[in-house]
């Protein structure tokens, strides 16, 4: 196999893996622990590289939670403007929207630098860390500041949050489910956009059917790994295609479109051709007796083991596997 990542179309710039939250559904396993932020030098490299992408339609800015370091976020916005890279939106969980005045000051500052839209997260998972009041204030004030250019992700999540009551406090998932009368299967239906991958595959298995490894034989990942409509670039400059955190073949320092061959990128190539079952020959692996909720669950479990061998540089970053 020989492959080159196609021209990038749309994706997210992750300024850090650090977040105010450690949501159960987080694909990138972000959390509050101290974690590096993208340096100014890397920000400039990232947007400079993106400016050379011939098919790029836009990028969104994200963390973790990007507003935890307004200085880094502003540097990224300035760099996008300087390099003429279109910004789709900033993704925020509004943990910082303590009151209307704070929210307005923050959003105004970002709008004045050139940001045109925001996406605000609203889910029962976020509400384990962020009172609904802050989400509501953030959406209302952002609507005024950005002239309606606000995406609420998701509207169903927002409606569920608005029925919880006690807006000024957080709710554990168990509390939310009890108040709203949801069982595990309802929870997945309400958050149907969540992929059983990353942290979701680790701690949200309840309510999902489990399968043995054989179920995933011949299920290759070429479609996901070659997708460039939702790529991510992390604070280290690593590129992740599709929705596959923790597997990187390109980076901003050495090039976003390297020649991918099995000798250089064995994990990627096996996943591309054969899916996670293709990784089974790379190391001795003991299957999980309880089964797997998805092929990404199996993939992550095997990759964690492969990473511990230290033999596969494409399994990055430390923040994801830690
Ligand atoms: S889903 Fe968003 S808010 Fe939640 S931990 Fe991940 S980055 Fe943070
Ligand atoms: S199984 Fe692995 S490579 Fe395939 S889509 Fe899931 S995370 Fe990506």
Q: Mean of the pLDDT values across residues 280-304?
A: 95
DSSP-assigned beta bridge partners for residue 250:
239
- Specify if 302 maps to a domain: no
Joined tokens for residue 309? 């061998």
- Ligand number, closest to the Cα atom of 272: 2
Instruction: Identify the H or E element spanning 14.
Output: strand 10-14
For 165, the domain range is 3-207+228-248
- Specify if 149 maps to a domain: yes
Residue 1 has pLDDT above 80, yes or no: no
- pLDDT of res. 259: 94
The preferred substitution site among 249, 268, 299 for testing ligand 2, maximizing ligand atoms within 8 Å of CB, is 299
pLDDT tens digits, one per residue of 171-224 = 999 999 999 999 999 999 999 999 999 999 999 988 899 999 999 998 999 999
How many Cα atoms occupy the beta-carbon half-sphere of 290 within 13 Å? 8
The minimum-distance atom of ligand 2 relative to the CA of 242 is 8
pLDDT tens digits, one per residue of 113-169 = 999 999 999 999 999 999 999 999 999 999 999 999 999 999 999 999 999 999 999
- Specify if 66 maps to a domain: yes
Instruction: Identify the H or E element spanning 306.
Output: helix 295-308
pLDDT tens digits, one per residue of 13-38 = 999 999 999 999 999 999 999 999 99
* CA distance readout (Å), 14 to 4, 11, 89: 23, 10, 13
Residue 304 has pLDDT above 90, yes or no: yes
- Specify if 212 maps to a domain: no
Helix locations, 57-96, DSSP H: 70-82
- Ligand number, closest to the Cα atom of 22: 1
- pLDDT of res. 127: 98
How many Cα atoms occupy the beta-carbon half-sphere of 83 within 13 Å? 22
- Specify if 321 maps to a domain: no
CB 192 within 8 Å of CB 154: no
We report the CATH number of the domain holding residue 164 as 3.20.20
pLDDT tens digits, one per residue of 59-111 = 999 999 999 999 999 999 999 999 999 999 999 999 999 999 999 999 999 99
Is cis: bond before 259, omega within 30 of 0?
no
The minimum-distance atom of ligand 2 relative to the CA of 243 is 8
- Specify if 98 maps to a domain: yes
Reference 319, options 239, 233, 246, 231; nearest CA is 246
Residue 62 CA to ligand 1 center (angstroms) comes to 9
- Specify if 219 maps to a domain: no
Residue 107 CA to ligand 2 center (angstroms) comes to 36
Q: Provide the Cα torsion 191, 68, 319, 43; round to 10°.
A: 110
- What pTM did the predictor assign? 0.97
- pLDDT of res. 218: 87
Reference 215, options 295, 274, 290; nearest CA is 295
How many structural domains is the chain composed of? 1
212-239: b (≥16 Cβ within 10 Å) or e = ebeebeeebbeebbebbeebbbbbbbbb
- Specify if 292 maps to a domain: no
- pLDDT of res. 209: 93
């Amino acid at each position: 196999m020989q492959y080159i990542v196609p021209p990038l179309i749309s994706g997210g710039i992750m300024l850090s893996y650090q977040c105010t939250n450690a949501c159960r559904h987080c694909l990138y396993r972000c959390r509050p622990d101290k974690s590096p932020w993208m340096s100014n030098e890397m920000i400039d490299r990232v947007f400079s590289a993106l400016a050379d992408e011939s098919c790029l339609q836009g990028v969104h800015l994200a963390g973790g939670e990007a507003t935890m370091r307004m200085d880094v976020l502003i540097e990224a916005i300035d760099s996008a403007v300087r390099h003429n890279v279109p910004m789709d939106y900033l993704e925020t969980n509004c943990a910082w929207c303590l009151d209307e005045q704070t929210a307005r000051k923050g959003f105004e500052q970002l709008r004045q630098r050139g940001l045109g839209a925001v996406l605000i997260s609203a889910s029962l998972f976020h509400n384990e860390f962020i009172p609904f009041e802050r989400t509501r204030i953030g959406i209302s004030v952002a609507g005024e500041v950005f002239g309606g250019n606000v995406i609420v992700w998701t509207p169903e999540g927002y409606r569920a949050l608005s029925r919880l009551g006690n807006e000024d406090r957080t709710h554990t998932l168990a509390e939310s489910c009890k108040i709203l009368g949801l069982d595990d299967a309802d929870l997945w239906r309400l958050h149907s956009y969540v992929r059983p991958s990353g942290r979701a595959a680790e701690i949200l298995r309840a309510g999902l059917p489990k399968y043995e490894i054989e179920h995933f034989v011949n299920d290759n990942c070429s479609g996901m790994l070659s997708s460039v409509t939702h790529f991510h670039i992390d604070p280290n400059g690593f590129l992740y295609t599709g929705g596959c955190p923790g597997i990187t073949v390109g980076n901003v320092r050495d090039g976003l479109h390297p020649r991918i061959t099995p000798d250089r990128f064995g994990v990627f190539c096996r996943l591309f051709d054969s899916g996670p079952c293709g990784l089974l020959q790379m190391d001795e692996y003991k299957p999980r007796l309880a089964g797997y909720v998805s092929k990404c669950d199996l993939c992550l479990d095997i990759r964690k083991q492969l990473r511990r061998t230290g033999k596969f540089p494409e399994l990055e970053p430390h923040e994801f596997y830690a």
